[in-house]
Amino acid sequence: MAQPETERLTEIMAGALLTRAVCTVADLGVADHIEPGAPQSAAHLAKAVGANENSLYRVLRYLASYDLFRESAPGEFDHTPLSSALRSHADGSFRVAAVLFHRLFAAHDGFDHAIRTGEPGFNKTFGKPIFEYLQEHPHLAPLFDAGMTCFHGFETGAMLDAYDFGVFRVLADIGGGNGSLLASVLQRYPQLKGVLFDLDHVARRARESFERCGLTDRCRVIEGSFFEGVPAGADAYLLRHVLHDWTDEQCVLILGHCRKVIPPHGRLLVVECIVPEGNTRSVSKDFDVLMMNFPGGIERTEAEFRALFEHAGFELNSVTPTSSIVSVLEGRPLSGGSGGSGSGSG
């Protein structure tokens, strides 16, 4: 084999070190100690974050070769746009997402298990599913919420710009997490009322969010599991980055519960990445293997979503792309059935 191929394979195989380096530097808060345009020495940075000077220099030099930080003079580092995004108070800071990865990085040790068995690598490493683990470690809840906002928060504005929620009366956010998404929709559409449905320990955080936003009079928070049912009374049921956490069988069960309560004129709104066919490069394929290894879920193609909808009693009516990676998949209830033939469990 020619040398370029072996060198490229070496670079790819060392990619785990790149991930670990970014997460560790973010956890240490190195980026917070550099003001853009005011380079700092590795010695100063090591002292500021409590790291070994030589090791930190070598890691920063390594990251600089990937355009994270820039060695502006021997031993001194300034920001690039990528490293600036790791600053805690940067607009759209991504630091918390990297710190979350740092805390859960051991899950990657189970990746081989995921490939061989089809079971999540997280379960192998931590001994239980990720959402059960997070429930048992409540100190991670604020970090998880903030990390998910880092990954997906920017999608909210793109979704609101692309899709008209003004035609609905009541919007139910199923698996709505800390309520940030539903709060944004309600603030954009003052005539709309909302229902947030999630597990009890998550719902508590959502109530606090709605109180801060002054939306308690327009939004109910209901506790429960979407594997057991969802509340009636809405004419639109929204699931953002919910289905990608679960298997097809589990998704049919979730969507089937929506089908049982949705009115004939209602709409199912699924906000997810759509995996392109073929060899097209897409971050959705990165997310797909992350979903495989962490919760055991799947990022899907449009054809796979269409089949999922049909199995649950919906017709995929339209796909609305946004300026972000996600699209809004709108489903209409099929006549003559209540859906939900699956029997998965959570």
Which residues fall within 8 angstroms of residue 122, CB to CB, at 6 or more apart? Answer: 104, 107, 110, 129, 130, 133, 293, 294, 295, 296
Q: Is 184 domain-assigned? A: yes
Same domain, 74 and 217: no
Average pLDDT score over the chain: 94
User: Rounded mean pLDDT of 61-81?
Assistant: 97
User: Rounded mean pLDDT of 27-53?
Assistant: 97
Secondary structure (DSSP) of 192-223: -EEEEEE-HHHHHHHHHHHHHHT-TTTEEEEE
Say if residues 30 and 60 touch (Cβ distance below 8 Å): yes
Same domain, 135 and 211: yes
Q: Is 106 domain-assigned? A: no
- How open is the CA angle 219-238-335, to the nearest 5 degrees? 120
Does the pLDDT value for residue 42 go beyond 90?
Answer: yes
Same domain, 78 and 165: no
Q: Is 100 domain-assigned? A: no
Domains contained in the chain, number: 2
- Interval 239-292: pLDDT, tens: 999 999 999 999 999 999 999 999 999 999 999 999 999 999 999 999 999 999
Q: Is 80 domain-assigned? A: yes
Model confidence at 201, pLDDT cuts 50, 70, 90, reads confident
Same domain, 172 and 77: no
Same domain, 29 and 88: yes
Residue 241 annotated as catalytic: no
Same domain, 68 and 147: no
Same domain, 59 and 141: no
Does the pLDDT value for residue 329 go beyond 70?
Answer: yes
Domain boundary among 93, 115, 145: 93
d(CA 155, CA 307): 25
Burial class (CB in 10 A: 0-12, 13-18, 19+), 24: middle
User: Rounded mean pLDDT of 165-188?
Assistant: 96
Cα 317 to Cα 12, 180, 195, 271, 335: the distances in Å are 40, 27, 23, 14, 14
Nearest to 290 by CA among 26, 98, 125, 111: 111
Does the pLDDT value for residue 337 go beyond 80?
Answer: no
- Interval 95-151: pLDDT, tens: 999 999 999 999 999 999 999 999 999 999 999 999 999 989 989 988 998 898 888
Does the pLDDT value for residue 66 go beyond 70?
Answer: yes
pLDDT for residue 342:
38
Which structure tokens are listed for 132? 């059960």
Q: What's the CATH code of the domain at 30?
A: 1.10.10.10
d(CA 42, CA 75): 6
Q: Is 185 domain-assigned? A: yes
Model confidence at 345, pLDDT cuts 50, 70, 90, reads very low
Domain, as residue range, for 35:
3-93
pLDDT for residue 267:
98
Q: Is 57 domain-assigned? A: yes
Domain boundary among 67, 93, 119: 93
- The amino acid occupying position 12 is I
Same domain, 159 and 256: yes
Which of 79, 102, 152, 244 is catalytic? The answer is: 244
d(CA 226, CA 250): 10
Same domain, 87 and 136: no
Q: Is 86 domain-assigned? A: yes
